[in-house]
Structure 1
Amino acid sequence: MKGPVPLQDSMASDTEPSNTIKLLHLLFLSTSWGMQVWVTFVAGFVMSRHLPRHTFSSIQSQLFPYYFHISSTCAFLNLTLFAMSHPSERLGEEHTAQIIIFLTCIAACVLNSAWLGRVTAEAAAELQRLESGHGPGGEPGSSESRRRLRAAHPGYRQLARRFALHHGLSSLCNLLCMACNGLSLHRLAAQLAAL
């Protein structure tokens, strides 16, 4: 005769997420990760090397709001699904760490979506307007004409610095989101019994 099932074992089976929840969680996480890898490491590099700078900048200004909003939505939905299947009274250290990872990802995505992406696009548009009157911007990659314009116009130099700062912060937030999603994928992969 078997004894009673330990309370801890019965609680674990009670909180096991359904296959639908698992599928949605994996779908949102992989969508966000795949999109981030593609936009950051493939599309960005290819476009920056083969398109005129102003064309590249225009495409980014139209593409990035969607990119940031989709990343934010996926991060929020991942946190929501994870929280639904892990009640707070039963959270362990690993689960708490995962929630912190999701919250960090959401914060970085929302910062990009609500502020950094917009101010970076605005600074790029101002640079583009100034460059249009002085020649640079129609060529791919870096340009000697932009260096001359920077040396001749202090306003351009200041605007270029502002753009570089906001673009750098936006890129840092993007990399932070990628790191968070990478950690989440690592956690999921560690729990797979088989492929």
Structure 2
Amino acid sequence: MEGPGPGQDTVPTSAEPSDTIKLLHLVFLSTSWGMQIWVTFVAGFVMGSHLPRHTYGFIQRKLFPYYFHLSSACAFLNLTLFAMYHPSELLSDEQTTQIIVFFVCVAASVLNTQWFGQVTSAIVADMHLVERGHGLGQEVGLLPSKSCRQLRASNPSYGQLARRLALYHALSSLCNLCCIACNGLSLYYLAAHLAAL
């Protein structure tokens, strides 16, 4: 069979991914989303409600880098696998939206991994040093104690750390919620295109 002649363009075709590729895509997507739901809505609240604040902060500083890196890796692999089997020339509006959703998830994950998450952990560590110097940190609960609020009012540098923590924690949480929403939309897209359960 002859190839296209001079001046003729080849028409891109969308190859059907193998079952292995489909499985990998499903594993990366479901792993990421399940991990995000667990860490955000279950583990965080349970640990924060039952552990001393400094213990909870220490666990978060050790756990979150792994969480953020794994989320970023899954987001990147999902985008890559989807893009490989959906050439840009053949994308439907729905598939274009799905590519954008994956890209937003990658961007939010990388921001959390490389910036917001790291800064938040560093600020928490600095705050814990100040609190230990004042005999604080063993109280249990997600909200700052009365003693911490008093320290914030009386110690300008600690108050500044608390304000920076509020800002970076909000940005990190926003990125995390964005990733949860993106992965939820991607799972919905996947479910809508299943031939059968």
The secondary structure found in structure 2 opposite 1:139 is: coil
Give the aligned residue type for 2:136.
Answer: P
What 5-or-longer segments of structure 2 have no aligned partner?
Answer: 1-10
Match of 1:7 in 2: none
Alignment check: 8 A CA contact 2:12 2:87 kept:
no
Map Cα deviations across residues 93-142 of structure 1 (whole Å, 9 max, x no partner).
11111110000000000000001111000000010000001122111113
Show the 5 A alignment for 1:131-170: 131-141=131-141, 142-170=144-172
Please tell me whether residue 119 in structure 1 is matched to residue 130 in structure 2: no
- TM-score by structure 1 length? 0.91
> Cα RMSD between the aligned structures?
1.5
Give the aligned residue type for 1:177.
Answer: C
Please tell me whether residue 172 in structure 1 is matched to residue 174 in structure 2: yes
Query: Percent same amino acid at aligned positions?
Result: 67
Distance (whole Å) between structure 1 residues aligned to residue 125 and residue 41 of structure 2: 23
Please tell me whether residue 41 in structure 1 is matched to residue 34 in structure 2: no
Alignment check: 8 A CA contact 1:135 1:145 kept:
no
What 5-or-longer segments of structure 1 have no aligned partner?
Answer: 1-10
Give the aligned residue type for 1:112.
Answer: N
Please tell me whether residue 92 in structure 1 is matched to residue 92 in structure 2: yes
Please tell me whether residue 15 in structure 1 is matched to residue 19 in structure 2: no
Distance (whole Å) between structure 2 residues aligned to residue 124 and residue 45 of structure 1: 17
Deviation of residue 14 (structure 1)?
5.4
Deviation of residue 187 (structure 1)?
0.5
Please tell me whether residue 192 in structure 1 is matched to residue 194 in structure 2: yes
Map Cα deviations across residues 145-169 of structure 1 (whole Å, 9 max, x no partner).
1011112111111110101110110
Moved over 3 A (4+): 11-14
Alignment check: 8 A CA contact 2:57 2:124 kept:
yes
